[in-house]
Every structure is written in C-alpha cells, then in structure tokens.
Structure 1
C-alpha cells in the first residue's frame, strides 16, 4: 500500500487532508461535551413560589359608620281650626317660646256672642229641669216630659262646648317649648280650616336618623353610645334610642334614631352628619385592602398558606377600612398571609413559601 502511495503523491495529500479534518472535528466535539452541564432537577419540583407574612389576630373595637340626617327632636305644623282672619302676630319667627304661650290670634267674629247665647240657653234648660224634677216627685208631670227636658239640657250644653271650642281655636298656643321657626300667614290674611299657620320646632334635643343594613342591625342595642361627627369636624355625643322593628320594603334597611343633647340650642337641624356606633370588641386582622380578592361567588376573602404548604381561600367580613388598612374577621387566629404572588395561585395548590421582607 505504501509503495502505491509513494508512486502516487496526490493520494498522500488527500489522506493527510482527511486525517487533519477528522482531528479538527474530534476536538470540537470534545469541547462541546465539556461545555454541556448535566441535567439537574428544578428546586421544588416546579412548584410556584409566594411570599407570606405571619399575621396574628388583635383585639379591635367594632364600629359601624353610617351617614345620617339631623332633625329637630319635635316639629309640629300648627293649622287653623276655624275660618277667620289673622288679627295679631303675637310672636315673630325665630323667637324662643314656652309651652302654652300665645303665638297668633285670629279674629273672634261672632263667637263670643255664640258662647254667651249658649250659656244663657244652658241656664234656662237647667232651670226647666230643676222645676220639672220637683213636679215629677209629686207626680205632676210624666217621666217622659222630664226626660225630654233633660235631653234639651244636654243638647244645650253640647252646643255651648262647641261654641267655646270655636272661640278657643282663635288663639294659637305653643304645644311645647321651642323655636317659632316658620310662619305661613300674614297680618289680616283670611284662613280656612286646615290651612297651615306656623311651624314650631324643639331643638333642646336633636335626633339623627339613618338607615342601617339588615346584616348589621343585629349588632345594635338601645342605649349604645354614638359619636355624631358634623361636617365642620365637631363631634357631639348621643345614644341610640330607636331601632325600627321592620325593614324598609324598598331598601331592606332599618331606620335608627340617635338622641343628642343640644343645651346650647345650636342650629343644626337639617344638616348631615356621620354616625360612629361602637358595637363591642372582637378579634380581627389588620391588612392592606389590596390583599383582598373575590371568589367565584363574589365573596371578599384572602389567600393564605396552611401547614401542608397549600393555598387556602377564606371569606372574610370587612369590619372597617381607613387610610391605614382594613380590619377583617373570619381568619384563623394566626395565619401565613400571601403578600406576593397570590394572583398566580389557586386554592388547594401546593406552593413554596418565602417570608416577606420586613417593612414591605
């Protein structure tokens, strides 16, 4: 063979080229094998990783916050009971009046004369009955005649009472102490029965009315202290004095009323206010509202990790929310709350946990 190669130099050149090519290829293959890392199993077998924070339940004061409307303790619209003209305006709007004080006078017209006529008629009928009674004792008149005279006396007395009532209705008196708030008539004006004359309000006490949800009404009881926050930042103290026995058919909410002392007679009736009602202490967790999520039923809840490193979803009740966070109830007393990655895991899924950094 070598003798042939020696006789054919071109064959020697080809053989050398093939050997050189094989040597180069073998070196590249060995380097590639050196650079390949051996297969290593992924940490956790491919389980998702989440950050958790341990939260413990704390005592907190449950409080219901609702918007309310401030109203006078009492408000009455006084109306005319007789046809007459306005004769005198005894008091002016804005005046404070006492119970029984004269506020407005209507013209008496012929009502005093009707009273005098009625009184005379009663005296005449009383005299007739008195005489007939003596005659009846001696059987000089029949029992039916005496009964007729007694009936006429009763009729005269009823007519007299009616005449006196008509005259009394010309004097409009304050049914309770309060403030003469509005007047709907002027001096000399003619009024008819049922026509509004004036409005009297009692603001020595105020009541703040509000509507509360049916889920929350069971936490209320009469006499509970209530803080009434006004729009200007001032606060008044009151107590819950009324809870409706039945819900409003339209809103399914219950009306409540809070009694508030107003010794300075502040003009607050008609304004809005915020009611803060303390309903007792309970254990709850304070967390960021951003950690709340909804399940398929639309319930608010949070995701956390149990001892088996599986994700749990627990519906919670939102007790209160402020700038610092939200108070919720319904979680275990101590819970590993998912603070990062909760949107990528589902209840029942196994995960790897990592404690969240402090201050996050």
Structure 2
C-alpha cells in the first residue's frame, strides 16, 4: 500500500490531510464535551448558575414616536355650478392669491338678461302690492287678493336671487388666501355642474396627521409641543391641535393632528414625517433589547433575581428603542438583571448568581 502511495504523491497528500482533519475534529469534540455552552448555566449543588448585573432606574423623558403625513392646513377643490365655457383664466397655477380674488371666469351666456328680467318682474310686483295695500285700506280689495299679490312678489324675488346666483357662479373666486395649486380646465373648454375647475391650498400653516395607539392616547393633551422630523433631516416644531374622540374601527387607533406654522410657505405638504411627542419624565431602565423575552401571554418582560435568589419575570412597557438600547418601565428601581443564562431558567426557580462587572 505504501509503495502505491509513494508512486502517487497526490494520493498521499489527500490521505495525510484526511488524517489531520480527523485528529483536529476529535480534539474539538473532546473540548466541547468538557465545557458547557456559552449561554448555558452551569449547575452547582443542583442550582443553575446565572450572571446578573445590578441596574438602577434613571430619569428619562417619555416620548411617543409615530409616523405621520404633512398636509396643507386647508385644501379645497372648486367645482363648476353652471353649464358654461371657460371664458378667461384670471390667475395661473402656482400664484399666491388673496381671499376673494378672481381666479377663473366662465361665460355668462344669457344670465345677465335673466337678471334684468327678474329685476323688472320684482319692480312690477312691488307696484301691484303697494296699490293693493292702498285699496285694502278703503276695503276696495279683498284680503285674499292682497295675499296673492304678496305671494307673487315673494316668488319674483326668489327667482331674481336665483338668477343673480347663477351669474355669480360664472366668477370663480378664492374662498381664502392661498396658493392656486392645480387647474383641471383650459381656456374655451366646456364645463358642467359638478366638474372640477381648480384646487386652492393654504400652506401658511401645515397639518401633520398621524395615528396613535389606544394605549398611548391617554397620555396626550391638546397644546403639547411636538417635534416633526422630515425624511431629508429637516425639523419643524408644532403643537398638538386635535385628538379624535373615537378610535378608528379598523385599526383601533386615534387620529391626531399637529399644527405647524409655515410663514416661509415651504413646499412640504404631502411629505412623510416622524412625530416626536414628549409626554413627561419618568423613571426607567436602559438595557439591551436582547435581554427582553416574552411570557405565555406574549407580553414583553425581563428576568431578574430577587433577594431570595429566585428568578422573577416582570412584564415591562417598552418606552423607546434605538441603536444603543431600550428604555423600559415597570421594574423595581434597583434590579438584579439576569444577563447570562436567562433562557435556561424559569420564574420561581432558585439559582446561584455571579455578578458581572459594571459595564460588562
């Protein structure tokens, strides 16, 4: 056999490599059997051994962080009320306009004539009523006749008001100061009642809306300061302006709205934003999220060791999480937190503890 291996050096190299690999594996297996897994507690005198770290509660600013949407403070879509043609584009898209300013004119057609006829009809009916009133004083006309003429006058006035309103509807004016944002018609185009003409938005203030969980809404109050972070890193400040009285039936969350001043008329409406709402200072513990576990009910909690050297599980409220750790509340002010071996012990179990060094 050895002569055959000598004739084939490459085969000899393979055999040597296999023997070396087997030797290394046998050594690793022996050492693995001689040593416990890194996170597995070593039993001493029948008790599992765990490592703990004493943790003190610290004051922290409670903060709700929710995702929201930036919206204009006011937005209105102006629609046609009459059949007409677009006669004139008095202002154009992107213009800043004042309240009452004319934005778009529709063809009046015969509406001025209808107004004139209505005015003449009203004048005639007024004369008839005055004459009948004088005759009534001398009992020369019946009360029913006077009532009929007064009714005809009221009808003429109503028709005149309708004709004037129809004529007014051909002049599309701004209901509030804002920005002429969109136009859906062109010069000369025919429009019908209900057809969209243009959109006006008010961005002198902004509304940032979001949904807040029902567990958090009780901690909010109107007027609270809110910090708004945009996707590009810019930050705005506002105040909580609205909290819904009832939860959304689907999500069981409450809509909130934050009012933000925008004197420079920055074009932010439609952007996504993150809302940071401070809700007061509280005592909490800062720990690694890896130390959080779930109980049978699915609640977040941590395991710790009490004075009797037994394991406790306490459900906690997760206040905030970032890259450095998690803030939780609900634990005793000073707690012996299990940092190694918590996955192998159960609440109520007696354990032997080893305290880790500060910051380890």
| TM tier, smaller | 0.7 to 0.9
Which residue in the other structure is 2:183 paired with?
183
Which residue in the other structure is 1:76 paired with?
76
2:223–2:241: 8 Å Cα contact kept in structure 1? Answer: yes
Q: Which moved more, 1:209-218 or 1:69-78?
A: 209-218
Moved over 4 A (4+): none
> Structure 2: any 5+ residue segments left out of the alignment?
1-41
Which residue in the other structure is 2:347 paired with?
347
- Superposed displacement of residue 156, structure 1: 0.8
Secondary structure in structure 2 of the residue aligned to 1:250: coil
Deviations 1:136-188 (A, max 9, x none): 11111111111111111111111111110000000001000000000000000
Secondary structure in structure 1 of the residue aligned to 2:158: helix
- Superposed displacement of residue 44, structure 1: 5.0
2:53–2:358: 8 Å Cα contact kept in structure 1? Answer: no
- Superposed displacement of residue 255, structure 1: 0.7
- Superposed displacement of residue 357, structure 1: 2.4
RMSD between aligned residues: 1.2
Scaled by the length of structure 2, what TM-score is found? Answer: 0.87
- Superposed displacement of residue 359, structure 1: 2.8
Which residue in the other structure is 1:37 paired with?
none
Q: How does 1:1-360 map to 2 (within 5 A)?
A: 45-360=45-360
- Superposed displacement of residue 131, structure 1: 1.1
Scaled by the length of structure 1, what TM-score is found? Answer: 0.87
Secondary structure in structure 1 of the residue aligned to 2:284: strand
How far apart are the structure 1 equivalents of 2:44 and 2:208? 60
Aligned length: 319
Secondary structure in structure 1 of the residue aligned to 2:45: helix
How far apart are the structure 1 equivalents of 2:211 and 2:59? 27
How far apart are the structure 1 equivalents of 2:253 and 2:153? 57
Deviations 1:87-146 (A, max 9, x none): 000000000000000000000000001111111111111111111111111111111111
How far apart are the structure 1 equivalents of 2:143 and 2:229? 75
